[in-house]
């Protein structure tokens, strides 16, 4: 656990010291660049035992390397319907047979795209990167290669979803689906992501969730008969097993928290309703995960948007949320009338009180995010469901 805990500690200290004390775009770039380099290096150096799916993807890379283009277009290619991932393997295999170099390229995509996303669209990039690590998304990128790349690509579509720009949204979703076909479900999401969050929509979501859970086995049998026959096998049935309630705890707590403060988030930007709905979907899917593990795969797609939503939450309660009158900053000497001067002074004091209050709220909320993130981070590592521990490098592995 030491390597991952050290990474998280470095993220907090470096992020707070560089990005929080003196906020600037330049400092954000420095932070994101340095931290991305650290994570990419960790990903590149990891041994084949780190990440439960590492060997599966390493073997596939070797198959592509040995089989070449003819293997890529043959029925033997298990990822033929995911051409983005197949082509990534093929192009890397053209100049190296070293699987570690391939893993380096995967990490550059998963981590690098996340860093660019946070720089472009996050109000507090260092918090977004903290969530990326502490909520297990970086750890997932060490094992779930296809899904991690696909999600990193898809998150760029959220901007176009907010702006209701269908064509660029669909194009990005299709690109993401070329790395993991399950991302195709994000196309119909476009038409529901702007639904207002109120008791009516929440009741509808809850009812649909209950219905799916009640009919899960008939739906599973129907789908595996006509579409995904693989999941009807013994290995596929593993995904129909349930997870323990702890698996859903943090996603559900995140959803509840977001619903409590949703008015602040929407006041900052009404288009954030998209991210709020994503949080609701993830919370419900993780509840369903307690019945069938399969739902976690879809829940993760929505839950990863927390790297954008949590910074929005903090920004919505921060100093920037205080509405100030531009005239309040003017010199009091501009007022000749004593009553006007007294009123202006009173307004300035009220504004300063509001600013100070929101500073405290922001720092308390940030501390809460760091605490919850650390607890979740430790729990994920302790469970070690995807073999992240022990972290060893291929240079030192015997």
What are the CA-CA distances from residue 44 to residues 88, 101, 336 (Å)?
16, 7, 68
Q: Which residue has the higher pLDDT, 80 or 351?
A: 80
- Taking residues 285-310, what's their average pLDDT? 92
Q: How far apart are CA 229 and CA 232, in angstroms?
A: 5
> Maximum CA pair distance of the chain?
86
In contact, 261 and 321? CB cutoff 8 Å? no
Handedness of CA 27, 33, 36, 41 (dihedral sign): negative
Question: What token pair was written down for 148?
Answer: 């991690």
The confidence band for 129, taking pLDDT boundaries of 50, 70 and 90, is very high
The confidence band for 329, taking pLDDT boundaries of 50, 70 and 90, is very low
Per-residue pLDDT, 221: 78
Q: What is the pLDDT of residues 247-263, one digit of tens each?
A: 999 999 999 999 999 99
3-state secondary structure of 393: strand
Is it the case that residue 279 has pLDDT exceeding 80? yes
Q: What is the pLDDT of residues 170-211, one digit of tens each?
A: 999 999 999 999 999 999 999 999 999 999 999 999 999 999
Cα distance from N-terminal residue to C-terminal residue, the chain? 19
Q: How far apart are CA 363 and CA 344, in angstroms?
A: 29
DSSP string, 81-114: T-HHHHHHHHHHHTT---HHHHHHHHHHHHHHHH
Q: How far apart are CA 290 and CA 243, in angstroms?
A: 5
Per-residue pLDDT, 63: 95
| Count of C-beta atoms within a 10 Å radius of residue 397 | 11
Which residues have C-beta within 8 Å of that of residue 88, sequence separation ≥ 6? Answer: 105, 106, 109, 149, 179
Is it the case that residue 286 has pLDDT exceeding 50? yes
Q: What is the pLDDT of residues 349-389, one digit of tens each?
A: 766 666 777 788 889 999 999 999 999 999 999 999 999 99
pTM equals: 0.90
Per-residue pLDDT, 71: 93
What are the CA-CA distances from residue 238 to residues 227, 323, 381 (Å)?
18, 53, 22
Q: What is the mean pLDDT of the chain?
A: 89
Q: How far apart are CA 287 and CA 283, in angstroms?
A: 6
- Taking residues 62-82, what's their average pLDDT? 92
Weakest-pLDDT range from 16-20, 52-56, 306-310, 314-318 = 314-318
Beta partners for residue 393, in sequence order: 46
Is it the case that residue 103 has pLDDT exceeding 70? yes
Q: How far apart are CA 246 and CA 236, in angstroms?
A: 23
Per-residue pLDDT, 231: 64
Is it the case that residue 45 has pLDDT exceeding 60? yes
The confidence band for 87, taking pLDDT boundaries of 50, 70 and 90, is very high
DSSP 331: -
Q: Give me the helix-helix angle, 246-260 and 273-289, nearest 10°.
A: 150
Any idea where the domains of the chain sit in the sequence? 1-191+387-398
């Amino acid at each position: 656990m030491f390597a991952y805990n050290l990474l998280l500690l470095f993220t907090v200290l470096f992020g707070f010291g560089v990005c929080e004390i003196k906020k600037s775009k330049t400092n954000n770039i420095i932070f994101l660049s340095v931290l991305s380099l650290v994570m990419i290096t960790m990903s590149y150096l990891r041994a084949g035992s780190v990440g439960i799916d590492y060997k599966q993807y390493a073997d596939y890379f070797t198959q592509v390397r040995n089989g070449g283009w003819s293997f890529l277009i043959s029925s033997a290619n298990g990822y033929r319907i995911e051409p983005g991932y197949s082509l990534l393997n093929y192009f890397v295999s053209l100049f190296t047979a070293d699987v570690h170099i391939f893993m380096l390229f995967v990490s550059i995509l998963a981590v690098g795209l996340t860093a660019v996303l946070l720089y472009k669209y996050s109000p507090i990039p260092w918090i977004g990167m903290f969530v990326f690590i502490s909520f297990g998304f970086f750890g997932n990128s060490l094992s779930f290669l296809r899904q991690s790349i696909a999600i990193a690509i898809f998150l760029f579509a959220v901007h176009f979803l907010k702006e209701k720009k269908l064509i660029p949204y669909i194009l990005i979703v299709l690109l993401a689906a070329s790395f993991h076909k399950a991302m195709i479900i994000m196309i119909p999401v476009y038409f529901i992501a702007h639904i207002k969050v109120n008791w009516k929509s929440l009741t509808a979501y809850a009812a649909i969730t209950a219905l799916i859970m009640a009919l899960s086995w008939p739906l599973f049998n129907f789908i595996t008969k006509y579409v995904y026959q693989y999941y009807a096998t013994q290995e596929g049935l593993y995904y129909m097993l349930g997870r323990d309630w702890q698996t859903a705890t943090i996603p559900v707590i995140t959803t509840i928290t977001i619903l409590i403060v949703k008015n602040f988030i929407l006041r900052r930007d009404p288009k954030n309703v998209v991210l709020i709905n994503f949080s609701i979907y993830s919370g419900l899917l993780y509840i369903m995960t307690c019945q069938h593990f399969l739902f976690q795969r879809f829940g993760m797609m929505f839950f990863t948007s927390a790297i954008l939503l949590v910074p929005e939450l903090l920004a919505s309660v921060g100093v920037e949320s205080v509405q100030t009158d531009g005239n309040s900053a003017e010199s009091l000497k501009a007022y000749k009338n004593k009553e006007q001067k007294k009123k202006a002074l009173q307004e300035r004091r009220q504004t300063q009180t509001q600013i100070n209050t929101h500073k405290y709220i922001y720092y308390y909320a940030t501390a809460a995010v760091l605490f919850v993130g650390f607890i979740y981070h430790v729990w994920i590592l302790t469970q070690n469901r995807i073999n992240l521990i022990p972290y060893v490098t291929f240079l030192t592995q015997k």
